[in-house]
Amino acid sequence: MTTTTTLDAARVARLQRRVVRALSAGQVLGGVGAGATISLGPLLIVAITGSEGLSGLAATTGTLGAAMLAIPLARLAQSRGRRVSLTTGAILAALGGLFVIASAGTMSLPLLLVGLSLMGAAQALNLQARFAAADLAADRTRGRDLSLVVWSTTIGVVLGPNLFGPGEVLGTWFGLPEMSGGFAISVAAQVVGIVLFLVFLRPDPLLTAAAIAARGDDAVAPRPSGALRVLRRNRVALRAVVTIALSHAVMISLMSMTPVHMTGHGSALAIVGLTVSLHMAGMYALAPVFGWLTDRWGARAVILGGQVLSALALVAGVLGSLSEAGVIGALILLGLGWSASTVAGSTLVTASVAPAERPRVQGASDTLMNLAGAIGGASAGPVLAAVGFQGLAAVLLVPVAIVVVMHLRRAF
């Protein structure tokens, strides 16, 4: 990294530490919204429609909303900086939560779907935040810094699925519709996040990184290429993007059907909430370990390890679908596999793309990731209805095998 007379390496390091702390706090708040949507959304869909087959709409709508918003938010980051982009995402997520609360009162499915799609902005900004943590990171610590921000989401997403009880108490106090209190807590968390981003992301990490690059040895920076053009010529980045997308599709597909499967087999809501919480803990709690391993062993090795964990989770889902302990174990392993693949894949995306092209490629990666999740969530409901939880887990071994073969043979 080239230093300048106005911003030396020591100041950049201090700024990076503050940025990572601010992004980490924001991830805690954003994770509350993501956790509430994942656990309470399917149940609210069933309550309004009376159909378990439509329960996958919650995950599908949320991930579609995140997919639609990822590229606009990435473009906003490139033109106005991470601060404006992340704040805008939090505003949209809070607005979506208000729509969901209104839908619970009116029993309106269209209003609920609009609200869940806007709440997808929380997922989009959480994903962008991990890349923001790498804007000013040194090469030797990029995986660590990125993974620390991913890890901080643990607190929020573990709390989110357990907001059903406290949310209902809060809803009773304020006269909110049934099953909407958890979303009210999510809205409050997003409002705090808005203040956090506005205050502490100064100076903006992405704009600062661009200013450093412009003052460096390369006085004339190359004009950024479109994301698809970059991915066509950069096979390493393409493999990373495909890995992230397929890993996310597998995770969303099985996880989104777990509440429906467990409640259908008599599990209490408290057990369902605990299962999703442990899954989310698996997704985020060990992220720093996977970041550390990525910096030392390389992204490819960690990605392959993540796929092994995902395969073990799916086998556990096939063999233990009728046991609460079996399902819980499968969901924990699934979260760990997602974490390893996503941390290593995201680090590889950032490391393999030139700084001027990173925001566009990162935005495209997040869009494809969420589209894959939306397709997985939409497909999971009918597959669950047709072949059960065991059959769904077995089908999901196919994309895991694709990723493994792709990296072993370095396909593309």
Q: How confident is the model over 77-112, as pLDDT tens digits? A: 888 999 999 999 999 999 998 998 888 888 888 998
Q: With 90 as the cut, is the pLDDT of residue 63 above it?
A: no
Between 63 and 77, the more confident residue is 77
Name the residue ranges covered by the structural domains of the chain: 9-215+227-408
Between 120 and 214, the more confident residue is 120
**pTM for the full predicted model:** 0.77
Q: Tell me if 411 sits within 8 A of 405, measured CB to CB.
A: yes
Instruction: For residues 29-48, give the mean pLDDT.
Output: 73
pLDDT value of residue 37 = 64
pLDDT value of residue 48 = 84
User: What token pair was written down for 55?
Assistant: 């329960």
Q: What does the alpha-carbon distance between residue 169 and residue 218 come to, in Å, rounded to a whole number?
A: 59
Q: What does the alpha-carbon distance between residue 412 and residue 408 come to, in Å, rounded to a whole number?
A: 12
Q: Tell me if 45 sits within 8 A of 57, measured CB to CB.
A: yes
What is the DSSP code (8-state) at residue 356? Answer: G
Q: State the average pLDDT for the chain.
A: 84
Q: Residues, the chain, total?
A: 412
CATH architecture of 9-215+227-408: Up-down Bundle (1.20)
For 50, counting Cβ atoms within 10 Å of its Cβ (0-12 exposed, 13-18 middle, 19+ buried), the class is exposed
pLDDT confidence tier of residue 47, bands split at 50, 70 and 90: confident
pLDDT value of residue 339 = 95
Q: With 60 as the cut, is the pLDDT of residue 1 above it?
A: no
Q: With 60 as the cut, is the pLDDT of residue 3 above it?
A: no
Instruction: For residues 387-400, give the mean pLDDT.
Output: 94
**Bond from prior residue into 203 cis (ω within 30 degrees of 0):** yes
Model pLDDT for residues 276-300, shown as the tens digit of each residue? 878 888 888 889 999 999 989 999 9
pLDDT value of residue 185 = 82
* Residue closest to 344 by CA, chosen among 233, 236, 244: 244
Instruction: For residues 264-269, give the mean pLDDT.
Output: 80
What sign does the dihedral 94-38-185-106 (CA atoms) show?
positive
Q: Please report how many Cα atoms fall inside a 13 Å half-sphere around the Cα of residue 7, on the Cβ side.
A: 20
Q: Kindly report the backbone phi and psi dihedral angles of residue 286, in degrees, each rounded to the nearest multiple of 5, phi listed first.
A: -100, 15
Q: What does the alpha-carbon distance between residue 11 and residue 7 come to, in Å, rounded to a whole number?
A: 6
Between 59 and 66, the more confident residue is 66
Model pLDDT for residues 302-343, shown as the tens digit of each residue? 999 999 999 999 999 999 888 889 999 999 999 999 999 999
Q: What does the alpha-carbon distance between residue 59 and residue 396 come to, in Å, rounded to a whole number?
A: 17
